[in-house]
Structure formats: C-alpha cells, structure tokens
Structure 1
Amino acid sequence: MFSWRADELVVHSIGSAAEQPRTVLAGLDDDKICRRSLYMDGTVYLLNVNKATVLAFDVDDETITSIDLPLPGERVADGNQGSYVISELMEMSGRVCVATLEDVDKRLIAVWLLTADRRCERRCLFHNAAVSFWDYNHDVAGVWDCGGVLLIFMQAHDESCCIFLYDDATEGVYMLNAPPNATPERMDYRICWGYKPTLVSPANIVGELSQDEKQLHDLAVDLLAALKPVNDMEKRKGQDATLTTVCFMEFLAGIMRKLPSKLHHGIGKLDRFY
C-alpha cells in the first residue's frame, strides 16, 4: 500500500489566502497514512496503517473520529497492528470497506464494513485455500457484492493475482487464477471508489491562464517539440497499459454479471479454459 508518514493531519482551505492551515489531529507519532482517501456523504475517510484505525474527517465540522479495526488480542500486543491490514480503503454497497488478516497463520481473511454509526461489521470470513499462492505481500485490491456472492480480487507485490468468489449462503469459497498475460500491473491503475462524474470544468476551478502564462505555455510547446518521439513512445506504453487494464476490468465485470446464478454452473472453474 502507498502511504505517507505523518505526525499530524492538517486542513487547507482552497481559494481563501487569508485562512491559515488548521491542525485537526495531532500526535500521530510518524504513523503510516494511506494516500488513497475515500469520500462519502460529507466525510473523508483515511486509513492509519500503523494503528489499524480508520480516521473519519467531517468536512463541515472539521472533527475527526478514530475507528479501531477489530483485531485479535494477541496481535494488538505484538505492537505491529498494521501488518494485519491487507487492503486500502474500499467501497462496497455504498459503505466503507477494508480487509484484514484474521489468523496467526495468515490464511484467514476478513472483510469489514462500517455501519452508519461507525461500527465495524464483518461481511465475510474465509480461508485462503491456495496455500502455495499465499505470501505476506498479497493485498486485497477490490471487493464487490454481486447479490449474495462476493468477488474478491487479490494482487501481490510481484504482480501475481487471483480471484476469490465467496458464497454468502454456503460460506463456500471458489478461487480463480487470473488470465495469463492479462493482469495489469499495480502501478498502471487505480480503482476509483465512489467516483461520480461532474459537469464542472477544471478551468472553472483553477481559472484561465494569464497572458504571461499563455506566452510561457507557447514557448514550452515549441521547445518540447524536440521530445515528441520520446513522448510518443511513452504514449504507446500508456496505451498498452490502458488496454490491459480495460480488458481485465471488463473480464471481472463479465464474471459479476453472471453472479450469483452461475456460481455453481461453471464460473468457479472458468480458469480451466485459459
């Protein structure tokens, strides 16, 4: 997970030069804060990896609530709580979601949802049957509720990955290997949880370029033309990464569209065909 070391959380107001930054939470003790935040209904959620807590920042009141993730007692005692958090903040069914390890042998995985009153409710608990696949560096990258079946996508730091299907009714778990040569690298995509399109143009927020800035822009365009071959090469690399990401996400979406009715009729054995 990508994170920052932080001693405090500070709020900046955009568009008001007179206001000074305000500290809303101090005493973080150089904690690791995941860079990906999640915004829902007037609250910004952040993940404190070191303390295994979710920080809920109320945008209007500028207050912060710390929500502890449920971890077994022996893990709290070892002083390394954050090592049992194996996802960044995600969204599922309009609620904040996070995954943790639930057993000392690192083979039980729990998915938690935050309730309206900010309690942690366990959505599922399953055993990772792929013992040879598992290692410490695997994270849960995405969880989707498909009407009684959870699709759980896990990806390793070495880019290997697999897909788990969790059946609510039976608590059974099916594991699919990801298609070969069709899985995007972790750095090539970000799942935009809670994204909602807007009709507000960026220019309305940042403003138009001044005359001097336009002249500087024109100068930069002229001088940087010499770098066009290199830029074109990078663009092609980006296009390849985009194609891989789009194809893989459409593959996942195709599985979701067939759940839950097709779970027991072939989806769990899909990887035998590739």
Structure 2
Amino acid sequence: MQEGQRGRGERVPGSAGRRRHVDRAEQLESAARLTARDGEGEGAGRRDRQALFFQGPQGIGKSSLLWEIYERHAADGAYFLDLPRMPAENHVLEHLAMQARGQDVAVPSYENTRTRFAEQSAQTQVDFTNVRLRNGTFQLLAAAEDRTLRTASLSDALLDNLVADARRPVICLDGFEACAQPMRDWLGRSLLPNLLSRRVVSVFVAGRQLPSLGRPYAGAVHTMVLPPFDVQAVREWIEGLGFASLKGEAAAIHQVHGGVPELLDEFFKLHIEPVEAASERERGQTREQEQEQTQGHPDGGRDG
C-alpha cells in the first residue's frame, strides 16, 4: 500500500496486492543488524542502536519500507501500527495488545490493569452541580492527571508482557507526522522512551516528521533520510515486472518521475504491455492444436 492510500482500508499482515519491494538495500541491511539476535547475522551481539527512524517526503516509500521490515519479522514477534488511524493513546495500546493476542502472546498484566481501572471509573462519579468554576477546573485537571497515570500504568503493564515473550518485539510505527500534537507528545515523551528502556525491543518509526527524543534515548536512534530511487532501481523494477517493452527506458522513466517510488508505482500500474504479433500467432497455434487434440479424443474431450 502506498503512502497516499493510507486510511482507505485496514492494513493487515500479508495483505494481497502489495507491490514487490525494490531497492532500499542499505536500510534493510541496517534493519537486519538492528534486530539480529546474539550470534545471528553481521553485527549481532554488539548492537549500539535500538531504533531506526525513516524520514522523507510523501511518496518516497517510507510506508512500503516499514511494511517490508514488518513482514520480514512477522513470524518472530512484530507489531505494525498505522498511527493516523489511532486518535488516542489507549487505541495504540489496545492495537498492540490485539496483535499480541493474535501471535499467542499473553497480556495478563495489561488486561488486569485495564479491568482494575475500569472498575475504579465505574465507582467514581463527579457531580458538577453548583460547583464553583475554580473547583470545576481543579476537577478537570485532576481527571487529566489521572488519565496520564492510567495510560502510563497500562503502557508499563503491556510492554512487560510483550518483552516476557521469548521473541524479541519489533515495533513499527508509521505516519508519525499525521498524529495530533497530544499524541506526538505522548509518543516522544512516554511510549518511545518506555520502549527504548527495554533493550530487547527494536523500534522503527517512519514519517515526514519524526519524534525528538531526549537523553539518553536519542543516542539509541539512527535516522535515515530516504532518497529517490536511482536508475538502476528503476531498471530492476522493470525487469521484476517483466515489462519487455520498457527495457532500455529506465533512464527516461526515472527522469520523468524523479525516482519517486509512488509516482513510479502509479506509472507501472497504468502501463499496458503491448501484445506482439508473434506472440499472438503462437497463442493461435496453441489453440488450434488443443482443438485438434480434443476432436481426436475418443469421447470428444468430455469428462467422464
């Protein structure tokens, strides 16, 4: 799914119709080193980074790259969150918990904490009748602080459950720039530091804008700005699609579309490969042979 299509449907693991991922070898190699377990792959056992942030303009392929990373780790404890679809912090936590259950990762601490808070909320009633404005303001501030504490407790409980699994969680967060400011603040000041404080977790974030983390977590992040595809990447894409008529046109196509993956993808989707006369003749000959074989069959080619 391209970045411009975000929000048109729920993105689910293994969804059909996604284009073949091309290029981005450097970024995928960095992701592999980041998630390597001890004794696995180059750089394993000496991980000095814990998160990769991917930045770039719309259409440059951030979402596709992030989804590729997710799919490569889907069988080993990966989580993908399309942030623009989640208006509040509790939606983020609930989606993580839902994906955990789908991977047979138990989240008892999270569920118990959520149940406890729900019971407390049911018992708490605030009557604003005849309450002075200053008292009402105090009540609202207290409620906001209470929500913050609840979210922090739920987040701690959920992440404790995720890291307790034998698989090391890989968390992919897409579309940071589309979040409202309160959500951005929570992600940058609370959730991401909480994730990075757990050394077994690997984090990937993509967006036109990215969160700014303070010490010591900023040192655990490496930011990669995605460039447009080069001519060689376009040539490999054409070969992968099997478009014989476009062979030798990679440089021209690259120049017209600026190497922007989203524009290239739209171009290839609209391209109709011409049918050569020779190929048409071959198909006609094949049909004639099939007809002759059918006519010569003892039962006329009918199934028994």
Q: Calculate the TM-score normalised by the size of structure 2.
A: 0.26
Instruction: Answer with 1 or 2: which has the greater Rg.
Output: 2
Higher helix share: 2
Higher relative contact order (CA 8 A, sep 6+): 2
